Amino acid sequence: MGKVFNYIRVSSKEQNEARQVEAMNKFNKENGVINPIELIDKSSGTNTNRDQLQLLLKVVGKGDLVVIKSIDRLSRNYKECKQLWEEITSKGADIVVIDMPMLDTRQYKDLLGNFISDLILSVLGYVAEQETEFRKQRQAEGIAIAKKQGKYKGRKKIETNDNFIEIYNSWKQGNITAVKAMEELGLKKNTFYRRVKEYESNC
């Protein structure tokens, strides 16, 4: 076996990856994996613009193994999920989905095995994408009802000034830590990352 990559993804910086890490550690122990390469993204799964995922795609190669806890950790977008799967396997690497033992390319190398894996992958990828769409729909419906009842005021938009931009750039360039940036701006963690998200979405 070549290199083993434990790919972990949570949707935001505030979410905890401990559950996925625990599952990876158990897999590594049971399979005799020594010195796995752990890659953690704290980003939405609705697109592939993730630093650690892009690094994985660059360095993974023949004989390597990519381990993920569930298929939606790879992507919540149906088409992108299949594309990522095919890109990784086309490089000669294998993929294991811990929560779905049938999705283990090490075990099913024949035509029927590939067909079954492709079918399961398609179904799970589709379901993950639909869950995202349903969640957005429920949120929109909830907001619409709240507006009719006069209870929805929306989230107050945080103003971005020159001082924030200067400190943001310094943080992004690695000159200061996120904690230092929060101190300089006088912001709590959640507020800081919300402002970052708003600023980046408008860039």
Count of helices and strands (H, E) across the chain: 8, 4
| Residue 131: count of CB within 10 angstroms of its CB | 12
- What is the predicted pLDDT for the residue at 58? 96
For position 188, what pLDDT does the model report? 85
**Exposed (0-12), middle (13-18) or buried (19+): which is 20, by Cβ within 10 Å?**
buried
Backbone dihedral angles phi then psi of residue 132, each to the nearest 5 degrees: -65, -45
- Greatest CA span in the chain, whole angstroms? 60
Write down the pLDDT at residue 156.
Answer: 52
- Compute the distance between CA of residue 26 and CA of residue 32 in angstroms, rounded to an integer: 10
- DSSP letter (8 states) at residue 7: E
For residue 59, the model assigns a pLDDT of 96
Burial class (CB in 10 A: 0-12, 13-18, 19+), 120: middle
pLDDT of residue 181: 86
The whole-number mean pLDDT for each consecutive block of 10 residues of the chain, a chain of 203 residues, reads 92 80 95 95 82 95 95 81 88 91 78 64 66 72 75 57 78 85 84 82 64
Q: What is the DSSP string of 128-183?
A: HHHHHHHHHHHHHHHHHHHHHTT----PPPPP--HHHHHHHHHHHTTSS-HHHHHH
Q: Are strands 94-97 and 65-68 parallel, antiparallel or unpaired?
A: parallel
Residues in contact with 189: Cβ distance below 8 Å, sequence separation at least 6, in sequence order: 14, 182
Residue 55: its pLDDT value, please?
96
Q: What is the pTM of this model?
A: 0.60
What pLDDT is recorded for position 7?
Answer: 97
- What three-state secondary structure class fits 55? helix
Q: How far apart are CA 94 and CA 65, in angstroms?
A: 5
